[in-house]
Amino acid sequence: MAKLCCSRCGRCWDPYPIKTRCMECGGFLLPVSEEGLRIGRGRGIWRFSGSLASTPPKAEALTLGEGDTPLIKASRLASRIGLRELFVKDESRNPTGTFIDRGAATLVSAAGSQGYRRLVVASLGDLAVSLGAYANRAGISVRSIVPRSTDLVRAYQALIYSDRVDLVESYAEALSRLSKISMGASLPVDSSNPYLLDGYKTIYYEIYIELGRHPDVLIVPMGDGALLTALWRAARDLEGSPIFIGVRGCTDSPLLKDIAPAKPLMRELVEEILVETGGYVTEVCENELLETIRLVARSEGLLLEPVGVAALATATRLGEDFRDKLIVAVATGGPLRDSAVLRMAAGRPLVEEALGPTKQRILEIVVSRGPIHPYGVWRVLRESYRVDISLRTLYQHMRELEEKGYIRRAGRRNVNGRIRVLYEASEKGLEAAG
- Residues forming contacts to Zn ion in the complex (CB under 5 A) are 6, 8-9, 22, 24-25, 27
**Rounded-to-10 torsion of CA 57, 70, 336, 126:** 20
**Which is closer to Zn ion, CB of 8 or CB of 428?**
8
CB contact set of 223 (below 8 Å; sequence gap of 6+): 124, 191, 258, 259, 261, 264
**Which is closer to Zn ion, CB of 27 or CB of 70?**
27
Work out how close the CB of 22 gets to Zn ion at its nearest, in angstroms, rounded to a whole number.
3
Work out how close the CB of 197 gets to Zn ion at its nearest, in angstroms, rounded to a whole number.
16
Say which DSSP state 176 is in.
H
Work out how close the CB of 25 gets to Zn ion at its nearest, in angstroms, rounded to a whole number.
3
**Which is closer to Zn ion, CB of 25 or CB of 415?**
25
| 422 membership: H or E segment, kind and range | strand 418-425
Work out how close the CB of 20 gets to Zn ion at its nearest, in angstroms, rounded to a whole number.
12
**Which is closer to Zn ion, CB of 8 or CB of 408?**
8
**Which is closer to Zn ion, CB of 39 or CB of 183?**
183
Work out how close the CB of 200 gets to Zn ion at its nearest, in angstroms, rounded to a whole number.
21
| 110 membership: H or E segment, kind and range | helix 100-113
Work out how close the CB of 3 gets to Zn ion at its nearest, in angstroms, rounded to a whole number.
13
**Which is closer to Zn ion, CB of 25 or CB of 167?**
25
Burial 84-116 (b: 16+ CB within 10 A, else e): ebbbbbbbbbbbbbbbbbbbbbbbbbbbbbeeb
Describe the crossing of helices 267-277 and 226-237 by its angle, rounded to 10 degrees.
40
CA distance 186 to 222: 28
Residue closest to 305 by CA, chosen among 27, 163, 140, 97: 97
Q: Give backbone dihedrals phi and psi of 154, rounded to 5 degrees, phi first.
A: -70, -35
**Which is closer to Zn ion, CB of 23 or CB of 391?**
23
Work out how close the CB of 53 gets to Zn ion at its nearest, in angstroms, rounded to a whole number.
16
Is 381 in contact with 362 (CB distance < 8 Å)? Answer: yes
Work out how close the CB of 192 gets to Zn ion at its nearest, in angstroms, rounded to a whole number.
14
**Which is closer to Zn ion, CB of 28 or CB of 205?**
28
CA distance 427 to 431: 6
The 3-state DSSP composition of the chain as helix, strand, coil percent (nearest 5) reads 45, 20, 35
